Amino acid sequence: MTTISRSRMTVRATVFAAIAALALSACASDDAAEETTAAAEPTSDHVHEVTFDEAWVKVVDEGMTAAFGELHNGTHEEIVFVSASTPVSSMVELHETTMDDGGDMMMSAKEGGFAVGEGETLTLEPGGNHIMLMDVTEPIEAGDVVTLTLTFESGDTLDVEAVAKEFSGANEEYSGDDEMSHDHGDSMDEDHSTDHSTGTDH
Amino acid sequence: MTESEHPQAPGTSRRRLLFGGAAVGLGAVAGVAADRTLASGTEAESSPPPPERDVTGLNGAREVEFYGAHQAGIATSVCAHATYVAIDFHDDVDRDALRRLMQLVTDDAARLTEGDGALADTEPELAVVPASLTVTFGFGPGFIERAGASVPSWMGPIPGFDIDALEDAWSDGDFLILVSSDDPVTNAHAVRMLLKDTRAFGTVRWRQDGFRRAYGSEVSGTTMRNLFGQIDGTTNPEPGTVDFDHVVWRTSGWAAGGTTLAIRRIRMDLDTWDEVDPTGRSFSVGRDITSGAPLTGSKEADVPDFEATTPSGLTVISPVSHIARSRPEASEEVIFRRGYNYDVPPHDGTVSESGLIFASFQADVSRQFVPIQKRLAEADLLNTWTTPIGSAVFAISPGCKPGEYVGQALLG
């Protein structure tokens, strides 16, 4: 309980859209509330922002969970989302989910991170790409707000506030431990080492 | 897996289904052809025209603003469907947990009422038809105590009355979620989404589903009829008027801009009501059962004359009729009613289990609602056919602005 409040304490209680804005170029603005209008007004100062909306994290007692949301690149150049960190998990990986030759969905660390082109949006969602929190030690309870720091290849960072929600799905990534260890054990180990090389542990 | 174990069974039933379907289809086509032959005598061979799409009065896209000084679902237009869900909190729910809960459900409600899926919504497809969806949150005594405040005297409690046959299954509760819209699919989805985000904090104590006439069946704002056929809700304060504001909204404290909601589940015995002729029904109510006009008038809006007498010297409107007993004796005894019908599966060999989800908003339950209910419990001809089986009171906190959450004045 007390441990969890640390993540909530850092957060304005009312921020739920978890809209965070990062200026990658000169046109900086912190006015997150107006972010949604940016796309419709290309002349606005907000157009050159990278934003992360709809952020949420799955409630968990301990161990592994995942964070989701929409990363939008409003800048004029490609960005590469290379790693994430959070106070609630010492190890965080960026995962992609792909279909293997047998038609099974499998997850693996995204080597080199996610490149997001100009104007594009990277959707992180259950069953798809996601931010994997590998080592949660204190319960993340419904309604908690977890802070994630996203790091880009350029060295820029973006702080995101993700609200915790109970969610029955999104189990394929980490509930099939047996299958994983049997079928993909080796690749899992590789994933972890890959993750370190992409600099997750900031 | 089942198929490999029982290779015959699924195939057999599938064939049977297909055959059955085909037979019904043939029958239907033959029927249509015969009708058309009779009608025109010349178009028997042509296929029936595609059904005409009715696009008049489409209302699925209608939205009711979630944010505002008051919560939606009180002064906003009454919708066709309402679901009331009361939650009992888990023992460990404290003020901090309440804050988390209200942030979660406020966010859900704001998104859903705009026709968007909630965050982590597994069926966002169902959210795209808001159909005037509103979500209203109420705080029972258990909520307020856990928030660290004392339960105010203006939210009751409603005392027990001799006419009551209250059941726990329809009474009390720590937290109320009231979902209302003109589309039952929209309601079902919103209720489930909100309850999924409430599950970590408590369990469903009771749920009451109510309905009025469907959107578009009548001009909106028409006073509803309950399942007695009685026009129910005449003389309600009109939202948007000074009167309404005075009756409904609290003006100070954490609930300023909020109100209270009294919910009474009134079982109506339609079988014994069947035995009463129209004259007896009108006499019991004090109004003409068909028009809703007081027995001393000709229109629903006419003011009843409780002094008018018949040639034999009795008052035209019986002193124990419903409207005679429910009229205010003191000026503050006015409430805003927003009830719904219920009609659920019957039991014990009967054909009906029906009634009214009586719901009234008033700034002060104790001063405005309780005196009226007390008089009705003492004498009201309608009591012959009605029985209160549920009772609950919730404080309704004010609304909120974007970036805030409902209940922030109490929890913030």
CA dist B126 and B383 (Å) reads 42
Please report the pLDDT score of residue B45 as a whole number. 61
Give the range among A107-121, B6-20, B109-123, B245-259 with minimum mean pLDDT: B6-20
pLDDT classification of A172: cutoffs 50, 70, 90 = low
* Interchain CB contacts (distance < 8 Å): A and B: 58
- In a 3-state reduction of DSSP, which class is residue A128? coil
Query: Across residues B2-11, what is the average pLDDT?
Result: 41
Using the predicted structure, report yes or no on whether residue B188 has a pLDDT greater than 60. Answer: yes
CA dist A161 and B307 (Å) reads 67
Check CB contact under 8 Å for B200 and A142: yes
Question: Is A4 in the B-facing interface, judged by CB distances under 8 Å?
Answer: no
Contact residues on chain B for A54, CB-CB shorter than 8 A: 119
**pLDDT digit string, tens, across residues B84-119:** 999 999 999 999 999 999 999 999 999 999 999 999
CA dist B1 and A184 (Å) reads 25
**Shortest Cα distance from A26 to chain B (angstroms)?**
27
**pLDDT digit string, tens, across residues B364-378:** 999 999 999 999 999
Tell me the domain boundaries of chain A.
Answer: 2-197
Q: Which tokens sit at B16?
A: 């049977």
Question: Is A163 in the B-facing interface, judged by CB distances under 8 Å?
Answer: yes
Cβ-count burial B13-34 (b if 16+ within 10 Å, e if not): eeeeeeeeeeeeeeeeeeeebe
**Shortest Cα distance from A16 to chain B (angstroms)?**
7
Question: Is A53 in the B-facing interface, judged by CB distances under 8 Å?
Answer: no
Check CB contact under 8 Å for A141 and B403: no
CA dist B33 and B41 (Å) reads 10
Check CB contact under 8 Å for A163 and B197: no
Whether the model pTM is above 0.90: no
Query: Across residues A129-135, what is the average pLDDT?
Result: 96
DSSP per-residue codes, A51-92: EEEEEEEE-BSSEEEEEEEEEEE-SSS-EEEEEEEBTTBS-E
Contact residues on chain A for B123, CB-CB shorter than 8 A: none
**pLDDT digit string, tens, across residues B267-282:** 999 999 999 999 999 9
Shortest CA distance to B254 belongs to which of B176, B143, B158?
A: B143
Using the predicted structure, report yes or no on whether residue B4 has a pLDDT greater than 90. Answer: no
**pLDDT digit string, tens, across residues A41-64:** 344 444 579 999 999 999 999 999
Q: How many CB atoms lie within 10 A of CB B192?
A: 15
**pLDDT digit string, tens, across residues A24-47:** 433 333 443 334 333 333 444 445
Q: What chain B residue is nearest to A169 in terms of C-alpha separation?
A: B122
| pLDDT top residue among A178 and B249 | B249
Nearest to A165 among B96, B119, B408 (CB): B119
Question: Is B240 in the A-facing interface, judged by CB distances under 8 Å?
Answer: no
Tell me the domain boundaries of chain B.
Answer: 81-216+224-411
Contact residues on chain A for B116, CB-CB shorter than 8 A: none
**pLDDT digit string, tens, across residues A79-90:** 999 999 999 999
Contact residues on chain A for B109, CB-CB shorter than 8 A: none
Contact residues on chain B for A57, CB-CB shorter than 8 A: none
Q: Mean pLDDT in chain B?
A: 90
| pLDDT top residue among A106 and A5 | A106
Nearest to B122 among A59, A141, A169 (CB): A169
Q: Which tokens sit at B348?
A: 């014990």
Contact residues on chain B for A59, CB-CB shorter than 8 A: 200
My answer on whether omega of the bond before B157 falls inside 30° of 0, hence cis, is yes
**In contact, B66 and B369? CB cutoff 8 Å:** no
Class of domain A2-197: mainly beta
